[in-house]
Chains A and B, each alone.
Chain A
Amino acid sequence: MSALTVERSLALCLAIEIAIFALLGSNFVTLQNAGEIIRASAETGLLALALTPIILTGGIDLSVGSLLALCAVVFGMTWADAGWPIPLAAGAAIAAGLAGGALNALLVARLQVPPLIVTLGTFSLFRGIAEGATAGVRNYSNFPDAFLFLGQGAVGFIPSQFVILLAAAVAIWLLVHRMTVGRTLSAIGFSIDGARHAGLPVARRLSLVYVLSGLAAAVAALLYVARLGQAKADAGTGFELTAITAVVLGGTSIFGGRGSVRGTLLGLATLAVLQNGLRLSDLPAELAGVVTAVLLVAALGASRAFERDT
């Protein structure tokens, strides 16, 4: 079974999903609904895209959901409390995201602490700071309409988030599949020591992907705040797991080395269509968990079968 086969079977699953919900759901097959699906999955989509190169190196970043919350709170605080204009506050949020990513990068790439341990730590750290700074209850809202358009607006049926998600997808695709950096990432994933002995800049490449992940968390935070109209320390709870699920479902091996951006996008679409379709078909949304589990086990099984073959 090749990587392409994983993608093909996932595309088939998606097609079947769409066929079922087209029959069962009300107003499921409409451009409006396609827009809503993209809108609802833009933030986890950005995180999943940034996680793809990380998982490709055999790493993981569990801190993205928490970092999203921290960036959202930084944005809300600098705008509402410090009175900064929106662009400056957004800059502060991005700076917070880059700093958070840099902290992960420092620990993983320079000090060589296992990424699972590092990001499990920063998972608690980032949300802890966000909760501490706001006492857990402060809720920033009443953002100006021009900013809210970023999360709630649409041109025709195309939601504003689509542009950002598309740009991120293209950028990550170029990085992973069209640049030498991408080959290096795969090499690190297959064997980190091998990559070092081959003289590849392992620490620098690892730093790059963790900092990128911080940047994605910050941009996702801005989209999230604009979509909900509020910034609070509980933002993005559990987003890291949805994002990781999308990546793994898309055929990227959790052990590193192998994966594709196209697969991640397919995985993301499969999850988002599932949630949306169940709601429009009056089926219990809890079913999403069960179906996701089945898909995930199937995807994992496929990737294991592939590894045995090689």
Chain B
Amino acid sequence: MTRAGLVALVLAVSAACGGGGTDNVLTVAMMPKNKGNPYFASCRVGAEAAAKELNVRLLWDGPTETDPAKQNEVVDAWITRGVDVIAVSVENKEALSTVLRKARTRGIKVITWDADAEPDARDYFVNQATPRGIAETLAGHTARLLDGRGEFGVITASLTAANQNEWLRQLRAVLAERYPDLTLVDVRPSDDDRRRAFEETQTMLKVHPGVRVIMAIASPAVPGAAEAVKQSGRTDVRVTGLGLPGDAKPYLKDGVLDSAVLWNTEDLGFLTMYTAHALATGALKPGVTSLSAGRLGTRQVDGDQVILGTPFTFTKDNVDQFKF
């Protein structure tokens, strides 16, 4: 390799790419927890659609491996680069909050989406689903399956999981207000493990023969519970829950699983980009209570959280459209 050849390479590459961007296009840097996860790939589709509509330059980068320091390094590079908005789905709250605070002190707007950082480390959190919304949707499906009256049991993550316990609290409140004849007879843990969910569901069916609906509120618990019901041969018992369409698909097709609740991931990416744009242009500031988000219409802003809205339900009819 000659020096002249290398210099020519440098010139060719730089000519092809045309120097660093100093134009006035808004640059939004968006980071998933993991670039390789289809869940986030689906969020990216929505974010790119919104970026196109808003004429925003979207940088999409994040870890591809399990090195917990990677998210910090990417944000550090974005700070140096001087982007306008950083939007992160936070893997490691404590670790990332430090560097997000640093970004804010440098005048960069910071949003979290999908998973939040510490509140003082970001301007807004794009919240994909409120605990209340999740509880209402799941209770609604259960009531529909039981015609408003009967017993059901819950398979949760672990008995100490903060998210799940908040959902259960809201679920009990919704039951008391709207569905007094639905009875939650038992809550059993799955420890986020499919096999454990399978065993606990078998136990639940034996101990409480009157249970007609199993509600699995951790994503590995959905296929675990569905498999247990399927193998039990109890055609009078149905499963609903909170889970990924990919896991749910075979059981939805079987009919054992009635529905799996999550949120529309493309809409989540789309709304995050609109939030970033509104924040950078000053349309979104403290005191604002709603945000106009293109094809999504107007979305509620609750304090420092932008709410995506009611959860999305996957059924046997729509599950084929989703690839994660």
Taking beta carbons and an 8 Å cutoff, which residues of A are in contact with B? 12, 16, 19-20, 23-28, 30, 32-33, 36, 39-40, 139, 141-142, 148, 152, 224, 227-230, 232, 234-235, 237-238, 275-276, 279-282, 284-286
Contacts and interface: CB of A to CB of B under 8 A. Distances in A.
Contacts of B17: 23-24, 281
B67 A229 contact: no
Nearest to A233: B68
Given A23-B19, A230-B94, A286-B64, A16 B72 contact: no
A236 to B, nearest CB: 8
A276 B74 CA distance: 9
B6 interface: yes
A209 B132 CA distance: 59
A276 to B, nearest CB: 6
Given A36-B76, A227-B69, A229-B97, 10 more contacts: A12-B3, A24-B20, A27-B80, A228-B98, A229-B95, A235-B68, A237-B65, A279-B73, A279-B78, A281-B17
Contacts of A40: 73, 76
A142 B98 CA distance: 10
Contacts of B13: 20, 23-24
A30 B80 contact: yes
Given A19-B10, A24-B14, A141-B94, A228 B69 contact: yes
B73 A275 contact: yes
Contacts of B97: 229
B94 A26 contact: no
Nearest to B57: A282
Interface range on chain B: under 10, 10 to 19, 20 to 34, or 35 or more? 20 to 34
B179 to A, nearest CB: 35
B107 interface: no
29 contacts: A12-B3, A16-B9, A16-B10, A20-B13, A24-B13, A24-B14, A24-B17, A25-B81, A26-B22, A27-B82, A39-B76, A142-B94, A227-B69, A228-B69, A228-B72, A228-B98, A229-B97, A229-B98, A230-B92, A230-B94, A232-B92, A235-B69, A238-B66, A275-B73, A279-B74, A279-B78, A282-B21, A285-B64, A286-B64
A36 B61 contact: no
B225 to A, nearest CB: 23
Contacts of A238: 65-67
Contact of B20 (A16, A25, A33, A286): A25
Nearest to B19: A23
A73 B95 CA distance: 15
Nearest to B61: A285
A237 B14 contact: no
A27 B108 CA distance: 15
B162 interface: no
